[in-house]
């Protein structure tokens, strides 16, 4: 019997109470009544219940409830389970869909072994504001990159068959617009015009749906006045209508009843009605559905078809996971298996972005004594980053441990310099300076602890917290060469760091194997290959700052001077810029150095006249002109030069990692279809308008070889 028939049969047998029960997700192991509730069919899903407890609850549901419908166990498996991979923003810096797919596969494998069926990932919220702490959990600022990587994560978690006990259901979140929180304050209001929503914020979700994402999560934010959890436009019209999504929509934690605080529902009853009518199928944590849907049905305020539709979607996922046939599904994967750790090491290596290097890195094998300094040099917990529930500090290999192993303990001097990242004291700085003086080179591990990013962890300042800059200044004053490794959950304002350091490597929060991966890069075992998935501002005052902006009528000149406030306005000439800081980012989107150099040449377009509905091929030669084997991430950008609505100055349309030996060259090729050039016009129709387009193939959002072509009817 097919899945839909099985659902029909079940729905025909279910009471309204049992139907509403399926729509309830309980957080944690609940209270004393939980077991009775499960026996009555009053719960469809749990989050954060694992192992034996999950198995015991499943037994009650399957063996002691009237219809024996299995429970669905969800958990935040965001960037690994026991083996923690780099935070998603770090993984995004790899520009490597294969790598993020593999990280998700391993996370699914370990989580499924512990009884997890469903993860609340990937987060594909576009984030243009690094103050927002949850930028750490997503793929950055670009819709194309987030779409490619989000889809890869979905494939990694789910594989091709959800019944595979090594796979789990994915959940694309937070639908939608959550990352556009005003001022970067988490949960804050968002205003996103429909065209921008459709061109920038929705595409990563659509890509996840196309990749087969089993579920989506509705967001906390109020979007254009309507809370995302009660938003019929985004949920019913776009997701379930236009995209024909047939999976389930779960609310975020209490986001149904938070519609009361939003001022969009009078009480829990109205909130429940609003959420179900809008298209939410399951309520996470709060119990407004459980408390009110049955009576709303009885009163005729809620049509039975809506409840049946929600329950159908929930049962569909349970059937797709094979839970009716194998409710206790597990696998025997060993957490922290050597191949998992090796994949995590590779992921961390590929995530690191080399921002500056005056030649200090890689350290020569003949390097003498090394001072390893900083609050993040030896903290196995903080290097895991936010949302690492099942990761354990003691499983981590820290940079200090990895460097000591690689160089020999006798060559390493360790001094933390500060008690922790946020410490404002200077007590430990002298010992760090003394260690630096005794060393030939200083490696300083600075940045943010894990608790400075993630949910509800927004920052108004993006510089190094505590007295870390003082520590760095003191280290630099010794005259010893200093390489700074920054661990962080977001782009920071690193100008003062780059000024003082000879080299800066951005490692994000690199996960369990962060230490060995960083050591590999510092010692030249591998060359850095990460690229920025989000623009790095010079100062928080520039935020929001993103590469795919509009041009304005008075675009800043590339060389527009930065004038000190108080000088005559004249030199600024009324451009869209600042008086007191360079308008340009410190490092652009897509940027990253390596231990070699690359040139681009021989740009070739297969045609200069592209017919609507057809594709052209863009090719260029990338040559490794340096002395190290290294990977370049070639990027394709386009600009629609004249359109019925203003279009961004650049949009990423392709990227390709190419690993080349010194002197080696390769041809990179990108296919560009006219559909890839489309946008939503004033009537909200997705169109590609004929006319001239500019394109670039190059190393980041700033430079590149340039070409032009025309789209013709
Ligand atoms: C709230 C967060 O916003 C969401 O991302 C997460 O999945 C749920 N809590 C469950 O922990």
What does the alpha-carbon distance between residue 234 and residue 229 come to, in Å, rounded to a whole number? 9
Q: Would the CB of 76 count as within 6 Å of ligand 1?
A: yes
Task: Quick: pLDDT tens for 126-146.
Answer: 999 999 999 999 999 999 999
How many whole angstroms from 454 Cα to the centroid of ligand 1?
10
Range scoring the smallest mean pLDDT among 27-36, 215-224, 462-471 = 27-36
Task: Quick: pLDDT tens for 660-708.
Answer: 999 999 999 999 999 999 999 999 999 999 999 999 999 999 999 999 9
Q: Would the CB of 455 count as within 6 Å of ligand 1?
A: yes
Range 397-426 average pLDDT: 98
Percent of the chain with pLDDT over 70: 98
pLDDT at 576 (0 to 100)? 78
How many whole angstroms from 561 Cα to the centroid of ligand 1?
44
Give the three-state DSSP class for 421. Answer: coil
| Bridge partners (DSSP) listed for residue 634 | 656
Q: What angle in degrees, to the nearest 10, is found between the helix axes of 143-158 and 203-210?
A: 30
pLDDT at 365 (0 to 100)? 80
Give the chain's domains with CATH numbers: 1-31+215-320 (3.20.20.300), 338-522 (3.40.50.1700), 598-712 (2.60.40.10)
pLDDT at 710 (0 to 100)? 98
Looking only at the bridges linking them, the beta strands covering 222-223 and 226-227 are antiparallel
Could you identify the atom of ligand 1 that is nearest to the CA of residue 120? Answer: 7
pLDDT at 579 (0 to 100)? 80
Cis (ω within 30 of 0) for the bond into 224?
Answer: no
Residues near 24 by beta carbon (within 8 Å), at least 6 away in sequence: 42, 43, 44, 45, 282, 283, 287, 289, 290
What does the alpha-carbon distance between residue 563 and residue 255 come to, in Å, rounded to a whole number? 46
Pocket test for ligand 1, best of 49, 134, 253 (most atoms within 8 A of CB): 253
Cβ count near 557 (within 10 Å): 12
> Which of the four pLDDT bands, split at 50, 70 and 90, describes residue 563?
low
Could you identify the atom of ligand 1 that is nearest to the CA of residue 123? Answer: 5
Ligand 1 atom 3 nearest Cα:
252
What does the alpha-carbon distance between residue 223 and residue 230 come to, in Å, rounded to a whole number? 10
CA Rg, the chain, in Å? 26
> Which of the four pLDDT bands, split at 50, 70 and 90, describes residue 556?
confident
Q: Reading across the β-sheet that carries 630-640, which strands appear in turn?
A: 609-611, 705-712, 691-698, 630-640, 651-660
pLDDT higher than threshold 80 for residue 30: no
Q: Would the CB of 157 count as within 6 Å of ligand 1?
A: no
Range 412-421 average pLDDT: 98
Could you identify the atom of ligand 1 that is nearest to the CA of residue 220? Answer: 3
The pTM (predicted TM-score) of the whole model is 0.98
pLDDT higher than threshold 60 for residue 158: yes
Q: Would the CB of 46 count as within 6 Å of ligand 1?
A: no
pLDDT at 559 (0 to 100)? 66
Candidates 76, 125, 142, 252; catalytic one: 252
Q: Would the CB of 389 count as within 6 Å of ligand 1?
A: no
pLDDT at 492 (0 to 100)? 98
* Among 697, 658, 696, residue whose Cα is nearest residue 96: 658
pLDDT at 560 (0 to 100)? 66
**Could you tell me which residue, 291 or 556, shows the higher pLDDT?**
291
Task: Quick: pLDDT tens for 496-534.
Answer: 999 999 999 999 999 999 999 999 999 999 999 999 999
* Among 120, 59, 13, 79, residue whose Cα is nearest residue 453: 79
pLDDT at 685 (0 to 100)? 98
pLDDT at 441 (0 to 100)? 98
DSSP string, 509-552: S--TTHHHHHHHHHTTSS------SS-B-SSGGG-S--SS----
Q: Would the CB of 640 count as within 6 Å of ligand 1?
A: no
> Which of the four pLDDT bands, split at 50, 70 and 90, describes residue 279?
very high
pLDDT higher than threshold 60 for residue 611: yes
Pocket test for ligand 1, best of 48, 75, 76 (most atoms within 8 A of CB): 76
Ligand 1 atom 7 nearest Cα:
120
What does the alpha-carbon distance between residue 307 and residue 147 come to, in Å, rounded to a whole number? 31
Range 628-645 average pLDDT: 98
What does the alpha-carbon distance between residue 350 and residue 511 come to, in Å, rounded to a whole number? 12
| Bridge partners (DSSP) listed for residue 354 | 505, 593
Ligand 1 atom 4 nearest Cα:
252
Q: Catalytic residue at 252?
A: yes
> Which of the four pLDDT bands, split at 50, 70 and 90, describes residue 34?
very high
pLDDT higher than threshold 90 for residue 566: no
How many whole angstroms from 129 Cα to the centroid of ligand 1?
20
Percent of the chain with pLDDT over 90: 94
| Planar angle of CA 466, 181, 86, nearest 5 degrees | 55
DSSP state of 593: B
pLDDT at 561 (0 to 100)? 60
Q: Would the CB of 252 count as within 6 Å of ligand 1?
A: yes
pLDDT higher than threshold 60 for residue 622: yes
pLDDT at 575 (0 to 100)? 72
162-165: long-range contacts at Cβ-Cβ below 8 A with a sequence spacing of 24 or more? 162/214, 162/317, 162/320, 162/321, 162/322, 163/320, 163/321, 163/322, 163/325, 163/326, 165/112, 165/326, 165/329, 165/330, 165/331
* Among 215, 92, 100, 214, residue whose Cα is nearest residue 160: 214
Q: Would the CB of 186 count as within 6 Å of ligand 1?
A: no
How many whole angstroms from 76 Cα to the centroid of ligand 1?
7
Phi, psi of 308 (to 5 degrees): -60, -40
Range scoring the smallest mean pLDDT among 219-228, 353-362, 558-567, 597-606 = 558-567
Cis (ω within 30 of 0) for the bond into 174?
Answer: yes
Could you identify the atom of ligand 1 that is nearest to the CA of residue 74? Answer: 10
Mean pLDDT of the chain: 96
């Amino acid at each position: 019997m097919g899945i839909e028939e099985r659902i029909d049969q079940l729905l025909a047998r279910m009471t309204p109470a049992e139907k509403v029960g399926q729509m309830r997700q309980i957080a944690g192991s609940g209270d004393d009544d939980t077991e009775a509730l499960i026996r009555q069919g009053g719960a469809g899903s749990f989050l954060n219940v694992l192992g034996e407890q999950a198995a015991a609850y499943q037994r009650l549901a399957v063996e002691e409830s009237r219809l024996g419908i299995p429970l669905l166990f969800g958990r935040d498996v965001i960037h690994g389970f026991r083996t923690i991979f780099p935070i998603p923003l770090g993984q995004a810096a790899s520009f490597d869909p294969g790598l993020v797919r593999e990280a998700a596969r391993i996370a699914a494998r370990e989580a499924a072994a512990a009884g997890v069926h469903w993860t609340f990932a990937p987060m594909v919220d576009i984030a243009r504001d690094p103050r927002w702490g949850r930028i750490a959990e997503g793929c950055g600022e670009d819709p194309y990159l987030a779409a490619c990587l989000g889809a890869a994560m979905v494939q990694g978690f789910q594989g091709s068959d959800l019944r595979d006990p090594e796979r789990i259901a994915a959940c694309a979140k937070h639908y939608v617009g959550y990352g556009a929180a005003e001022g970067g304050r988490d949960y804050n209001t968002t205003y996103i015009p429909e065209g921008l929503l459709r061109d920038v914020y929705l595409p990563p979700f659509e890509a996840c749906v196309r990749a087969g994402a089993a579920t989506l999560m509705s967001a906390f934010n109020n979007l254009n006045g309507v809370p995302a959890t009660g938003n019929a436009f985004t949920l019913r019209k776009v997701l379930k209508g236009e995209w024909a999504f047939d999976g389930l929509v779960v609310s975020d934690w209490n986001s149904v009843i938070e519609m009361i605080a939003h001022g969009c529902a009078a009480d829990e009853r109205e909130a429940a009605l609003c959420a179900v009518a809008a298209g939410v199928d399951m309520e996470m944590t709060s119990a407004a559905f459980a408390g009110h849907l049955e009576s709303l049905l009885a009163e005729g305020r809620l049509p039975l078809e809506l409840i049946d539709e929600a329950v159908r979607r929930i049962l569909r996922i349970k059937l797709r996971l094979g839970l009716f046939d194998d409710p206790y599904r597990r696998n025997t994967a060993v957490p922290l298996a050597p191949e998992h750790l090796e994949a995590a090491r590779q992921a961390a290596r590929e995530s690191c972005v080399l921002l500056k290097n005056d030649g200090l890195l890689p350290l020569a094998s003949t390097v003498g004594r090394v001072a390893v300094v900083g609050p993040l040099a030896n903290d196995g917990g903080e290097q895991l980053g936010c949302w690492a529930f099942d990761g354990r500090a003691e499983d981590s290999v820290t940079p200090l441990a990895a460097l000591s192993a690689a160089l020999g303990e006798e060559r390493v001097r360790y001094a933390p310099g500060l008690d922790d990242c946020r410490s404002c004291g200077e007590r430990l700085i002298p010992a760090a300076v003394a260690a630096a003086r005794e060393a030939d080179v200083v490696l300083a591990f600075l940045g943010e602890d894990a608790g400075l990013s993630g949910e509800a962890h927004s920052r108004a300042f993006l510089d190094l917290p505590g007295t870390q800059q003082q520590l760095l200044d003191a280290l630099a004053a010794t005259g010893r060469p200093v390489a700074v490794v920054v661990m962080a959950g977001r782009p920071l304002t690193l100008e003062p760091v780059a000024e003082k350091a000879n080299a800066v490597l951005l490692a994000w929060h690199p996960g369990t194997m962060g230490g060995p991966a960083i050591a590999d890069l510092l010692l030249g075992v591998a060359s850095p290959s990460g690229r920025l998935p989000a623009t790095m501002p010079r100062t928080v005052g520039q935020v929001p700052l993103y590469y795919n902006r509009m041009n304005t009528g008075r675009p800043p000149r590339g060389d527009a001077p930065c004038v000190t406030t108080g000088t005559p306005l004249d030199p600024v000439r009324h451009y869209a810029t600042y008086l007191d800081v360079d308008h340009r980012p410190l490092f652009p989107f897509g940027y990253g150095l390596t231990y070699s150099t690359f040139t681009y040449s021989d740009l070739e377009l297969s045609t200069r006249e592209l017919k609507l509905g057809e594709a052209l091929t863009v090719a260029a030669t990338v040559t490794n002109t340096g002395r190290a084997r290294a990977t370049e991430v070639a990027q394709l950008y386009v600009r629609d030069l004249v359109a019925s609505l203003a279009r961004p100055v650049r949009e990423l349309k392709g990227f390709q990692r190419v690993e080349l030996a010194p002197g080696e060259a390769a041809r990179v090729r990108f296919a560009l279809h006219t559909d890839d050039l489309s946008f939503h016009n004033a009537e909200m129709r997705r169109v590609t308008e004929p006319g001239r387009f500019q394109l670039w193939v190059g190393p980041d959002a700033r430079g590149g070889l340039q070409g032009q072509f025309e789209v013709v009817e």
